[in-house]
Chain A
Amino acid sequence: RKEVEQDPGPFNVPEGATVAFNCTYSNSASQSFFWYRQDCRKEPKLLMSVYSSGNEDGRFTAQLNRASQYISLLIRDSKLSDSATYLCVVKVNTGGFKTIFGAGTRLFVKA
């Protein structure tokens, strides 16, 4: 079983739609959680951290459920420019902190 799992998609949605991605993690020593965005042929970049109480940044909302060991990302009012791959990232306390990247979920927003 992979340490961080995501549905690879692709998710095809129209502009203005709301779309949600889930990510599950297997290690209960996971301490920090992030969502990254990767544009085509570019490196991944931090989109937002995920806090225990949930957090929002504009149209993006991140949630953490420690009991069920999953995190989610909700995108409201999708824009064409939201088309990208979204990666779930977990930092696990293994003595030192190891960063583990999910394989990503592809999103296509269409006019």
Chain B
Amino acid sequence: DGGITQSPKYLFRKEGQNVTLSCEQNLNHDAMYWYRQDPGQGLRLIYYSQIVNDFQKGDIAEGYSVSREKKESFPLTVTSAQKNPTAFYLCASSWAGKGNTEAFFGQGTRLTVV
């Protein structure tokens, strides 16, 4: 089945450590997105990519980094510079070349700093 997969589902990190969240899709989507969601809050865009080897900062990119070396994969690194990284992280993908198609989300990764 086609879909978008995030791993791990739960992640614990010590303060000061970098951690990488995985996002893989087999939907042949061009565009991929990373969002952060805090409890009771809405989605906030971290980074997005419309094409391989290119990505743009979203509204809250500070303390995060991404890469897009393959169409299928858009990993997010939460660096030690991110002061409050505990949150629910959601990855999404969509077709950048088709305007009337929906976006799909992965099941999310809950990151907790301990």
Question: A residues within 8 Å of B by Cβ?
Answer: 6, 8, 31-32, 34, 41-46, 49, 85, 87, 89, 91, 93, 96-104, 106
Q: Is B96 interfacial (CB 8 A cutoff)?
A: yes
CB distance from A57 to the nearest CB of B (A): 14
* CB <8 Å contact, A96 and B96: yes
The number of residues on chain B lying at the interface, defined by a beta carbon within 8 Å of a beta carbon of chain A, is: 30
* CB <8 Å contact, B43 and A104: yes
How would residues 54 to 95 of chain B score, 1 for a CB under 8 Å from any chain A CB and 0 otherwise? 000000000000000000000000000000000010101011
Q: Is B51 interfacial (CB 8 A cutoff)?
A: yes
Residues of A within 8 A of B88 (CB): 41
Residues of A within 8 A of B17 (CB): none
How would residues 94 to 109 of chain B score, 1 for a CB under 8 Å from any chain A CB and 0 otherwise? 1111111111011110
